[in-house]
Amino acid sequence: DIQMTQSPSTLSASVGDRVTITCRASQSISSWLAWYQQKPGKAPKLLIYKASSLESGVPSRFSGSGSGTEFTLTISSLQPDDFATYYCQQYNSYPCAFGQGTKVEIK
């Protein structure tokens, strides 16, 4: 099974900061990676699929990059609405594992 590891687990940042979250796969998943945002008490929301494709309606300050085993989610200028937990997920093969999550907190 493919394991997904995110870093950091928690990130403290200020409005306007550039934020980067890393996700590593235990073996190559090509570009079959998605990123989700989840706020407390709410369902996750798809942000990025196929490593770098922006889901419709998602602000352009979100971007994804990487392939193989190393991936990043970047928020170019953090907004108040972006404080949330972010998860990566591989869908190259089953079981389609999620990372453990990265909580973005207000500094």
Partner 1 sequence: EVQLVESGGGLVKPGGSLRLSCAASGFTFSSYSMNWVRQAPGKGLEWVSSISSSSSYIYYADSVKGRFTISRDNAKNSLYLQMNSLRAEDTAVYYCASDGDYSPFDYWGQGTLVTVSS
Virtual torsion, Cα 85, 89, 95, 100, nearest 10 deg: -30
Q: How far is the CB of 16 from partner 1 (least distance, A)?
A: 28
Binding partner 1 by CB under 8 A: which of 71, 78, 87, 104?
87
Site string for partner 1, 36-75 (x = CB under 8 A): x-x----xxxx--xx--x-x--------------------
Number of H helices, E strands in the chain: 0, 10
Q: Are 101 and 92 in contact (CB under 8 A)?
A: no
Q: Rounded to the nearest 5 degrees, what angle is found at the Cα of 33, between the Cα atoms of 41 and 38?
A: 10
**Total residues at the site for partner 1 (CB under 8 A)?**
23
Query: Residue 95 interacts with partner 1 (CB under 8 A)?
Result: yes
Q: Report the amino acid identity of residue 107.
A: K
Of 11-19, 63-71, 75-83, 93-101, the segment contacting partner 1 by CB under 8 A is 93-101
